[in-house]
């Protein structure tokens, strides 16, 4: 078996996935399997007029599937992006959604597919208690997801993160059937990703796998997936950063991204609790923010994760397996791929800490952090990350 053949296959976990370079050509077949005849491709503004979008649309049209494009989606998508997307869906008489792009495009597209058949506000479907039961399932549109980055893993997620501009908070919109029924993981689509974006989204994938692994909940399947995901990132993120045309590294990062979101069924933690408010208030890049706060959160959690970090270090083949060797690896990886060391580098200042802390303490991601979170320790982590003071 050749190397290209090795990175090619059909998977059925956690949904139906076509994995391999060039498989975006099978987009029409995936649509037809879900009875789509007039799909709407939804992506972010940066990709709307890109070659990969034009090619994907042409594949659909050549197969007799008229395909519209909606790209009025910003980074850290807001309710208005979803509302406009749902209007475009109805106006164009579409019958399915192609979620295309990075995390913003995928999350917005999944939310549009949910909202096209609902009478309630999107905020009535926030991931709280049993609010997902309010959804009119028969009104949901089918989704084929095609990621073009390797970080968010939203293509295998059952939720969308949407910013509520009324109070500047990121809210998780959830329904089990928001999980796309078909996914295409085509490493060729990630070739044009700039090195800086490759680094930021790759660290997002690491944060998903790492926080899932550290979660105190019992979920051995997710824990195993997270470990393997981090091994792929360990060997492939630096390669993808240095050589964006390395299809093996790109393939492994796509897999690791999907694995991270599959694994965080086990939970997330303080990295995401700290990051979400920064994105909602200051519009920072989600993956990049996770990357910056990562070592500060590890240092805070040390007493609760020492044994797990020793196991992780051994699995990754780090010398002198220990908590310290994992922390050193994270710091060295960040430096090698150009990740800033402080939140100040992202525009976060001490004057923002009070507001950010109030949002972080109620962020649902923090409920599965290895150590309990409160306003004091979250505020301290923000301040440490702003000043670059890492006490490990």
Q: Is 184 left (phi over 0), alpha (psi -120 to 50) or beta?
A: beta
User: Do 3-189 and 195-387 show the same overall fold?
Assistant: no
pLDDT of res. 5: 75
- Whether the pLDDT of residue 37 is over 60: the answer is yes
Instruction: Report the alpha-carbon distance of residue 6 to residue 217 in Å, rounded.
Output: 33
pLDDT of res. 380: 98
What Cα–Cα distance (Å) separates residue 44 from each residue in 99, 147, 182, 273, 327?
A: 10, 12, 20, 24, 34
The mean pLDDT value for 150-160 works out to 95
Q: Which two tokens stand for residue 187?
A: 């490493």
Confidence band of 192 (pLDDT split at 50, 70, 90): confident
pLDDT of res. 2: 62
Task: Quote the mean pLDDT of the chain.
Answer: 96
Confidence band of 4 (pLDDT split at 50, 70, 90): low
Return the percentage of the chain with pLDDT > 90, whole number.
Answer: 97
Topology of the domain covering 195-387: Dehydroquinate synthase-like, alpha domain (1.20.1090)
What Cα–Cα distance (Å) separates residue 37 from each residue in 58, 98, 138?
A: 14, 12, 18
Instruction: Report the alpha-carbon distance of residue 64 to residue 62 in Å, rounded.
Output: 5
Which residue intervals of 243-285 are DSSP H helices?
247-263, 270-282
Return the percentage of the chain with pLDDT > 70, whole number.
Answer: 99
- Whether the pLDDT of residue 47 is over 60: the answer is yes
Domain boundaries, the chain: 3-189, 195-387
pLDDT, tens only, 341-381: 999 999 999 999 999 999 999 999 999 999 999 999 999 99
Q: Which helix (H) or strand (E) holds 224?
A: helix 220-242
Confidence band of 391 (pLDDT split at 50, 70, 90): confident
Q: Which two tokens stand for residue 220?
A: 């051995």
Query: Are the CB atoms for 209 and 229 separated by under 8 Å?
Result: yes
Peptide bond into 14 cis (omega under 30): yes
The DSSP line for 23-47 is: GGGGHHHHHHHTT-SSEEEE--TTT
The mean pLDDT value for 84-106 works out to 97
Pick the CATH number of 3-189 from 3.30.470.10, 3.40.630.10, 2.40.10.120, 3.40.50.1970: 3.40.50.1970
Residue with tokens 């994105």: 279
Helix-strand-coil split of the chain, %, nearest 5 = 60, 10, 30
pLDDT, tens only, 104-154: 999 999 999 999 999 999 999 999 999 999 999 999 999 999 999 999 999
**Short-list 200, 230, 201, 236, CA closest to 213:** 230
The mean pLDDT value for 311-333 works out to 98
The mean pLDDT value for 259-276 works out to 97
Q: Which two tokens stand for residue 328?
A: 């050193």
């Amino acid at each position: 078996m050749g190397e290209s053949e090795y990175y090619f296959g059909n998977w059925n976990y956690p949904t139906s996935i076509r994995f391999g370079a060039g498989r975006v050509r099978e987009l029409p077949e995936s649509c037809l399997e879900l009875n789509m005849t007039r799909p709407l491709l939804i992506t972010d503004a940066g990709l709307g007029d890109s070659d990969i979008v034009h090619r994907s649309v042409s594949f659909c049209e050549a197969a007799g599937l008229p395909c519209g494009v909606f790209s009025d989606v910003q980074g850290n998508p807001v309710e208005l992006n979803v509302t406009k997307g749902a209007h475009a869906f109805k106006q164009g008489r579409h019958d399915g959604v192609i979620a295309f792009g990075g995390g913003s495009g995928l999350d917005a597209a999944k939310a549009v597919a949910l909202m096209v058949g609902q009478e309630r506000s999107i905020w009535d479907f926030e991931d709280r208690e049993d609010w997902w039961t309010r959804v009119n399932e028969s009104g949901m549109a089918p989704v084929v997801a095609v990621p073009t980055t390797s970080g968010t893993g939203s293509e295998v997620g059952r939720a969308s993160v949407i910013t509520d501009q009324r109070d500047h908070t990121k809210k998780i919109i959830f329904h089990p059937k928001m999980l796309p029924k078909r996914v295409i993981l085509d490493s060729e689509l990630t070739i044009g990703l700039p090195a800086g974006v490759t680094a930021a989204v790759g660290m997002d994938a690491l944060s998903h796998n790492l926080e899932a692994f550290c979660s105190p909940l019992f979920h051995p399947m997710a824990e195993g997936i997270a470990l393997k995901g981090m091994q792929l990132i360990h060997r492939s993120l630096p390669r993808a950063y240095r050589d964006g045309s390395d299809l093996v590294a790109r393939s492994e990062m796509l897999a690791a991204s999907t694995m991270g979101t599959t694994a965080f069924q086990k939970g997330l933690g303080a990295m995401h609790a700290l990051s979400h408010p920064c994105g909602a208030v200051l519009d920072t890049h989600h993956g990049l923010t996770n990357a910056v706060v990562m070592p500060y959160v590890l240092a805070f959690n040390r007493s609760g994760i020492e044994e797990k970090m020793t196991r992780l270090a051994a699995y990754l083949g780090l010398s002198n397996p220990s908590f310290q060797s994992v922390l050193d690896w994270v710091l060295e990886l960040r430096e090698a791929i150009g990740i800033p060391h402080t939140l100040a580098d992202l525009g976060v200042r001490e004057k923002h800490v009070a507001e950010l802390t109030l949002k972080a303490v109620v962020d649902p991601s923090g409920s599965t952090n290895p150590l309990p979170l409160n306003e004091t320790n979250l505020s301290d982590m923000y301040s440490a990350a702003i000043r670059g003071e890492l006490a490990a």
